[in-house]
Structure 1
């Protein structure tokens, strides 16, 4: 059965053939947009979701195979049909290997075209795309998944620092996977055979945190009915991960500083000095330098911790990884809930790609788990996604500071130039941030 109101993008540089295809498919009940080369097609895909793309192979500016790879990299859920001449079937084979759903030979058999369109829209399967995504993962240790440039830089940093004994400070927003970075550093270090011991510093009071870290003697305080080894001793010869380090008190910071500097600890209620050999990894979502300036964090401890800084990138800066992560979480929760799920609809994946993700990877994981639990069919659609995503009201933001009480043309020009500078000259993205169409932006630039 034909999908009602399906959005199809026709990519063809032959204007006559493009016009015929649009008129034909519109008559079949589809909503049809056109692009005249692969580059234009990629820009349209980034602006709106499509249910299917029909593209020619041979085009002057970015041919069909290049466009196929670029579109699949951006949104792997979109099925793509390739049109090719009989004499160039090898290109179609290459397209199938790159993730195309199917191919049609020119001159087109319109009855076969209609059947193929309906089959692709009805039976879009992401099994092949999921396999391709798995093959593209450049790193999958402790579920650290990504192939974007920020993640590549992060992996390179981990590979360089892991074999060393340097103290590591991991900075980043909540939900970006700082603990996974700590696990990856430990897993690739010379201490990997010894334990990685973790503690959330924000979850304990000052007295409990001291007891957890350094241990206590029997009778040291009410409830201490036996001696306890602290986490420093548990992590001896291994790695100690201190999460949310920016939350500890100044008094506790002083005690921690001594342990780091001297590599010595004392159990609560004991005068005995114990030597420890621990590699320290700390993490925070606070700006510790600003905390130092505000007097809430010791400067000497900050420099002890900040030997090597690793920044965990927010999800909005690594949108290229969203399909990888979404498919990973889908498979994980489908198995846990004993469900057979094929993937995401193109519209659902498009919404995931365009959402700002204030809660980062943790929010994406929770959203996908919700989709898996609520799903009764084969594909997670926008209906199963949280309302914050499917009804996102995020408006494009432009920094207008300093532009008030000026002629409108001046304000508009500065806003456009600021958006272009922010997007490194990407007109499509700049138009999106300004809340106008690319065509409008080009007209304003020409003016």
Structure 2
């Protein structure tokens, strides 16, 4: 689709095909000469070979040239029609070290077949090869100049129905602090906007380090309560004997003489939002203390006070546990549930996140800024500075199986900052050791969803009577969240409410 063409202008059969099953694409994960191109994609029609390299198309090109685009969702109007441009055509790479005919690339059912035609050596993994079959998650490096990542993504991302604010610059953090251009990240932004506009309690699900607190703050900021208090507390730190005092407060001198009057978390959050992180760590018997105040009337009592109070609060809870491990009556009161994707599910965002984290470090540490950032990057219209990162480190960060996600990525970057000898973040021996330790903790990489058919999934659910813990382990999935995504994709009933994770 050429620049300026919208989905609503495309012929109906073509539009349906573009919005169908995800195809294969190559995403720029690192570029030495043109770092601003990170996140741009080569969208590859299946069975149609393309030429990729430096410079503009010419009449003597033996094949059509693959063109880079910045891909984002279009907006959906009130009538459901898409508005605006969803793919921005980008100029060809100008990197002088690449040949004009550097790669022949062709997407097929199995993966992307790549043949190196140019003068730059091609690395896949750590091997120099002439031809390769790239599967989703694989990277390709061209002679210390460019790293491409193979991913699955649709030709057109689903439109945004709920995001109202102006979209930020490509590849940069948005107004809520979200970083990423992957379909998973845009879907998250749209769901956050939907949740923000609703006045119901929310349960956020996701592994440690996926950004549940960031999502909670975004829901609060975008909601009608955004100007009112956001009260946050880690529920795991609530002492078992003082839960009522911490939550509901107490009158003066109760339960002990000399104690000051306290409004409690419920009172502080009235009119605003209460965010309870790790809510699943509350013992089951203590979870009952929240039930009454989460009902429509919001009733509660302070310790030592006979009169009932009411609190107009909205609860956002977050947990890395399955909802089935919590009290069903508490989970039922949190009508909206949202899974936060981890880095293993949006690997094309890892280079953008790494750059964002390094810029944040450099903003607080002038020494790191002077040593590891290229001053020349400031010359382009006041653009944000670009960190110098070795392509081997970028490839290792993309391939790593994360268990604590953004926290883990941040720690790996710090290790590279501390152990790199010169002015570039390297894949040092201590970084390799840290990655190896993380790999020992991490489960095996999740199989690509297309490998699990609807029939296989339905049979596993029937065999285990809908018990998801058994189903995802039998299918070899990474976790229960991966299973939930497959269930939604294939439209399979997820079982009783107490076991529903979304």
1:101 is aligned to 2:99: no
Distance 2:233 2:451 in 1: 39
Number of residue pairs matched? 316
Secondary structure of 2:233's counterpart equals strand
Question: Structure 2 vs 1, CA of residues 136 and 234 (structure 1 numbering), >3 Å: closer, same or farther?
Answer: same
Secondary structure of 1:169's counterpart equals strand
| Structure 2 portions without partners, runs of 5+ | 1-22, 35-51, 73-89, 102-118, 121-141, 147-167, 374-386, 454-475, 477-502
Q: How far off is 1:50 after superposition?
A: 10
Structure ranking higher in helix proportion: 1
1:388 is aligned to 2:434: yes
Question: Structure 2 vs 1, CA of residues 345 and 221 (structure 1 numbering), >3 Å: closer, same or farther?
Answer: same
Q: How far off is 1:233 after superposition?
A: 1.3
Work out which of the residue numbers 363, 377, 388 in structure 1 matches 2:408: 363
Q: How far off is 1:308 after superposition?
A: 0.9
1:201 is aligned to 2:235: yes
CA contact (8 A) 1:334 1:372 kept: no
Distance 2:417 2:433 in 1: 15
Work out which of the residue numbers 251, 260, 272 in structure 2 matches 1:217: 251
CA contact (8 A) 2:54 2:96 kept: no
Work out which of the residue numbers 178, 203, 206 in structure 2 matches 1:172: 206
Question: Structure 2 vs 1, CA of residues 106 and 287 (structure 1 numbering), >3 Å: closer, same or farther?
Answer: closer
Distance 1:302 1:40 in 2: 38
Question: Structure 2 vs 1, CA of residues 346 and 273 (structure 1 numbering), >3 Å: closer, same or farther?
Answer: same
Question: Structure 2 vs 1, CA of residues 60 and 243 (structure 1 numbering), >3 Å: closer, same or farther?
Answer: farther
1:311-390 residue pairs with structure 2 within 5 A?
311-338=339-366, 339-340=368-369, 341-342=372-373, 343=387, 344-383=389-428, 385=431, 387-389=433-435
Secondary structure of 2:415's counterpart equals helix
CA contact (8 A) 2:401 2:445 kept: no
Work out which of the residue numbers 45, 48, 55 in structure 1 matches 2:53: 55
Distance 2:449 2:198 in 1: 41
Q: How far off is 1:166 after superposition?
A: 1.5
Structure ranking higher in strand proportion: 2
Q: How far off is 1:176 after superposition?
A: 0.5
Q: Any idea what the Cα deviations from partners look like across 1:197-232, whole Å, max 9, x if unmatched?
A: 111111222223322211122332347621111111
Question: Structure 2 vs 1, CA of residues 135 and 226 (structure 1 numbering), >3 Å: closer, same or farther?
Answer: same
1:108-119 residue pairs with structure 2 within 5 A?
none
Distance 2:255 2:212 in 1: 34
Secondary structure of 1:101's counterpart equals coil
Q: Any idea what the Cα deviations from partners look like across 1:368-407, whole Å, max 9, x if unmatched?
A: 23333444532211016362327876799599xxxxxxxx
Distance 1:423 1:52 in 2: 40
1:227-246 residue pairs with structure 2 within 5 A?
227-246=261-280
Distance 1:64 1:245 in 2: 48
**Range with greater deviation from structure 2 (370-379 or 210-219):** 370-379
Distance 2:231 2:319 in 1: 17
Q: Any idea what the Cα deviations from partners look like across 1:316-342, whole Å, max 9, x if unmatched?
A: 001011011100111111222222223
- Structure-2-length-normalised TM-score: 0.54
**Range with greater deviation from structure 2 (226-235 or 375-384):** 375-384
Work out which of the residue numbers 294, 299, 313 in structure 1 matches 2:328: 299
Question: Structure 2 vs 1, CA of residues 376 and 253 (structure 1 numbering), >3 Å: closer, same or farther?
Answer: same
Q: Any idea what the Cα deviations from partners look like across 1:224-278, whole Å, max 9, x if unmatched?
A: 6211111111111111111111111233222210111131221122222122111
Distance 1:375 1:152 in 2: 34
Aligned match of 2:336: 308
Question: Structure 2 vs 1, CA of residues 245 and 390 (structure 1 numbering), >3 Å: closer, same or farther?
Answer: closer
CA contact (8 A) 1:199 1:243 kept: yes
CA contact (8 A) 1:51 1:347 kept: no
Distance 1:232 1:396 in 2: 39
> What value does the CA root-mean-square deviation take over the aligned residues?
4.1
1:276 is aligned to 2:311: yes
Q: Any idea what the Cα deviations from partners look like across 1:348-381, whole Å, max 9, x if unmatched?
A: 1010011011111111122223333444532211
CA contact (8 A) 2:417 2:425 kept: yes
- Structure-1-length-normalised TM-score: 0.61
CA contact (8 A) 1:351 1:390 kept: no
CA contact (8 A) 1:167 1:281 kept: yes
Question: Structure 2 vs 1, CA of residues 299 and 396 (structure 1 numbering), >3 Å: closer, same or farther?
Answer: closer
CA contact (8 A) 2:400 2:435 kept: yes
CA contact (8 A) 1:216 1:224 kept: no
